[in-house]
Structure 1
Amino acid sequence: MSPETFVDVFREALWIVTLMVCAVIIPSLLVGLVVAVFQAATSINEQTLSFLPRLIVTLLALGVGAHWGLQTLMDFFVMLVNQIPEVVG
């Protein structure tokens, strides 16, 4: 396996991981920001008020993005399998 091929595969894998993590984390961060602003404006210091909406949004993001994430992983795996003859030969 040439170093260029390894670097390309590693770069693609890191990009896929970054996209999948961002698809789940960014909605949770945005909801957390909105809840924090709401808590600061109303002086409510309840911990469950910030935790529960973020949990629900994270689960919804996982549910909505599961098909896309699985398809992305399958495409990456097919690409890896198709590169086997190129790497070996």
Structure 2
Amino acid sequence: MNTEMVISLAEKGVYTTLIVCAPLLILALGIGLAVSIFQATTQIQEQTLAFVPKIAGVMIGMIFFGPWMLERIITYTTDIFTNLTRFVG
């Protein structure tokens, strides 16, 4: 196993992680921004108000994006296990 192989494997792992996490992070960012704007305009400074919509949004996002995320992770894992002999030996 040479250096290029290790870098390629690490690059694929980081890329897969970013792609899988991105939809939920963007969703939480958008909901947090909307709640912050709502709090600023109404001058409600309740700390727990920001968490409940984010949690609900991320849960709904998990239901919506979950199959796609799982498919990407399974594809990456299958690729790793298929090429395991090339990585080890």
User: The TM-score by the shorter chain falls in which range?
Assistant: 0.7 to 0.9
CA distance in structure 2 between the partners assigned to 1:87 and 1:50 by the alignment? 45
Deviations along 1:15-67, whole A, 9 cap, x unmatched? 11111221211101111101111110111111222111011011111221111
Q: Match for 2:34: what amino acid?
A: V
Alignment correspondent of 2:49: 49
User: How does 1:1-89 map onto structure 2 within 5 Å?
Assistant: 1-88=1-88
Question: How large is the Cα RMSD of the aligned pairs?
Answer: 1.5
What runs of 5+ residues in structure 2 fail to find an aligned partner?
A: none
What runs of 5+ residues in structure 1 fail to find an aligned partner?
A: none
Identity of aligned residues (%): 25
CA distance in structure 2 between the partners assigned to 1:36 and 1:4 by the alignment? 45
CA distance in structure 2 between the partners assigned to 1:87 and 1:17 by the alignment? 20
CA distance in structure 2 between the partners assigned to 1:77 and 1:50 by the alignment? 35
Compute the TM-score of the two structures, normalised by the length of structure 1. Answer: 0.88
Q: How many residues align?
A: 89
Compute the TM-score of the two structures, normalised by the length of structure 2. Answer: 0.88
